A and B are shown apart, each in its own frame.
Chain A
């Protein structure tokens, strides 16, 4: 594999404008299993990047390490220059990273609105005593955060479902709700883990538009894991491909589509030989 640029050509990162996400030689070892080896990636500010690979390649493990659920065995993760590996998940979120999950992890028994409002807990604007006494800033702040939550729901077309219990939502809406909830955490970096899973082509089309929209509207940097190639090829500026825990290719959609290693990884040696 020839040396490939870590980030898209034409994008520069400097001391004063560090990449939003900078991962160096990230490794995760579970007991005897090397789930991720020497993973390196850079995502510049405002980038919409993709991370793909066959099942079990280690993509979600990388996400879990970025968000602090796993502590990496070795390697560094920096968010806008700041080292974040080893911190608790809630701290990493507060620093500006939010995510969705491969198997939807909504708060099943809470309403749609409450699911989103939880993300505001850290900066609710009032303390426990004010909540209990209902005095002080409680009324104003609670109304403000409710409105913010509703506005976010509106971006995803869920504002009319705000009082619905999350587990009663149809699958597609649940996925959108998860993204809305992540957005409510006001992140700088948004990690989406298979946001289009289970969606038909029309729904994925809408999702793609949505992802582009929120990147502009909310000034985000987005990294997504996805299996649906139309989505990945359609919106990602730069794609990193993993297999067996390692990076096997990087490039634009066109470059990746025609990359032999990628084809072999997905379709097997035999298919690769046929090309």
Chain B
């Protein structure tokens, strides 16, 4: 390969290619912005972030449980669904306000998950992992079909009754509702609370230790069983809050509503690096934003949104399977 040839012709060619790629990217984004106006674009981003916050609450449960017991808790999306229903009953049947309702939902989900963990997952902790996975799938099915029975929640689509009136504020052409403020506020509060628990409390330290090495933690005197149950409980409480917030934002609930958000939150957790809490958060925001952008900009976007969510997943797997914050696992030979 001729040195002069390389420097005079090929080098410029490379830079032209880079310039073209950058130009294409910039053009694409500005095209999107210009398509329906910058306000529309910004609103889409805002709504996407809002959805992402809700996904984050669900994704955190997935990522914490996976980090500590290497289990993909397929039933988590259904716990989210139970949270939505619990708050519905609190508000519609007993006339409670928002705060008691969401606390009620969190409490119910917490209890539910603790029961599930003790009854279905704990006995199988020493069994091969596939057994726990199948059990998780079974629990998920059970929750879905049992609640769909007529004397429980019934299989109907129920219109959720909001515990307060919607208020809309407009600025710079964007409309922000009190629902959005609530979602962002509560999610941030819960996530900060979670970070506090994990970083500053003894149980949090125990959780971190257990997720790194269960046996070593046990030898250090940590009550591993208790820590695991606590993790499940914590994740479920967040899911319960997520269910309530989601139902307030999209006021229609039904017993199979947890499947897609659950899957997408799970993808988000993987995208961010499964087992990583900041990863779950970042991944969820990304997932939510992409979801809403697809719906807002693609023709037929609302029909294809799920396809894009998983397309992202596949791309992440091809490029960096461990996710954004993930650590590659090296097997010791």
A and B touch in the complex (CB under 8 A): yes
Contact indicator per residue, chain B 302-333, by CB within 8 Å of chain A (1) or not (0):
00000000000000000000000000001001
Interface size class of A (residues with CB under 8 A): under 10
For residue B333, which residues in chain A have a CB less than 8 angstroms away from its CB? 60, 64, 69, 101
Rounded to whole Å, the gap between the CB of B206 and the closest CB of chain A is 27
**B330: chain A residues within 8 A (beta carbon):** 30
How extensive is the interface on chain B, given as a class? under 10
Q: What separation, in Å, do the CA atoms of A16 and B330 have in the docked complex?
A: 40
Within the complex, the shortest CB–CB distance from A55 to chain B, in Å, comes to 14
CA distance A30 to B330 in the complex (A): 10
Q: Which residues of B contact A64 (CB under 8 A)?
A: 333
A99-142: CB near B (< 8 Å → 1, else 0) gives 00100000000000000000000000000000000000000000
Q: Please report which residues of chain A, range 55-79, place their CB below 8 angstroms from some CB of chain B when the two chains form the complex.
A: 60, 64, 69
Which residue from chain B places its CB closest to the CB of A31 in the assembled complex? B330
**Distance of A81 from chain B, by nearest CB (Å):** 27
Tell me the smallest distance from the CB of A150 to a CB of chain B, in Å.
Answer: 29
Measured between alpha carbons, how far is A30 from B332 in the docked complex, in Å?
12
Measured CA separation A5–B324 after assembly (Å): 50
Residues in B whose Cβ lies below 8 Å from that of A60:
333
Chain A 34-65 near chain B by CB (<8 Å), digits 1 or 0? 00000000000000000000000000100010
Which residue from chain B places its CB closest to the CB of A67 in the assembled complex? B333
In the assembly, what is the distance between CA of A69 and CA of B330, in Å?
A: 11
Select from chain A the residue with minimum beta-carbon distance to B330.
A30
**Alpha-carbon distance A30/B328, docked complex (angstroms):** 12
The smallest C-beta distance from A68 to any residue of chain B, in angstroms, reads: 11
Minimum C-beta distance from B332 to chain A (A): 9
Closest CB of chain A to B243's CB: distance in Å? 41
A60 and B333 CA atoms in complex are apart in Å by 8
CA distance A89 to B330 in the complex (A): 16
CB closest chain-B residue, reference A105: B333
For residue A30, which residues in chain B have a CB less than 8 angstroms away from its CB? 330
Looking at the assembled complex, report how far the CB atom of B333 sits from the nearest CB atom of chain A, in whole angstroms: 5
A33 CB to nearest chain B CB (Å): 11
Q: How near does chain A come to B130, taking the closest CB pair, in angstroms? A: 14
Chain B residues within an 8 Å CB radius of A101: 333
CB distance from A77 to the nearest CB of B (A): 17
**In the bound complex, how far is the Cα of B214 from the Cα of A65, in angstroms?**
30
Q: How far is the CA of A60 from the CA of B330 in the complex (A)?
A: 15
When chains A and B are docked, how far (Å) is the Cα of A113 from the Cα of B330? 31
* A64 vs B330: C-alpha distance when bound (angstroms): 13
B251 shortest CB reach to chain A, Å: 50
Q: Which residue of B lies closest to A70 (CB)?
A: B333
Shortest Cβ distance from B145 into chain A, in angstroms? 35
User: How far, in angstroms, from A114 to B333 measured CA to CA in the complex?
Assistant: 23
Q: Which residue of B lies closest to A64 (CB)?
A: B333
Chain B residue at smallest Cβ distance from A102: B333
B188 to A: closest C-beta gap in Å:
34
B6 to chain A, nearest CB (A): 26
In the docked arrangement, what's the CA distance between A69 and B333, Å?
A: 8
3 cross-chain pairs, A with B, having the tightest CB-CB distances, nearest first: A69-B333, A64-B333, A101-B333
A–B pairs, 5, beta carbons within 8 Å: A30-B330, A60-B333, A64-B333, A69-B333, A101-B333
**B interface residues with partner A (beta carbon < 8 Å):** 330, 333
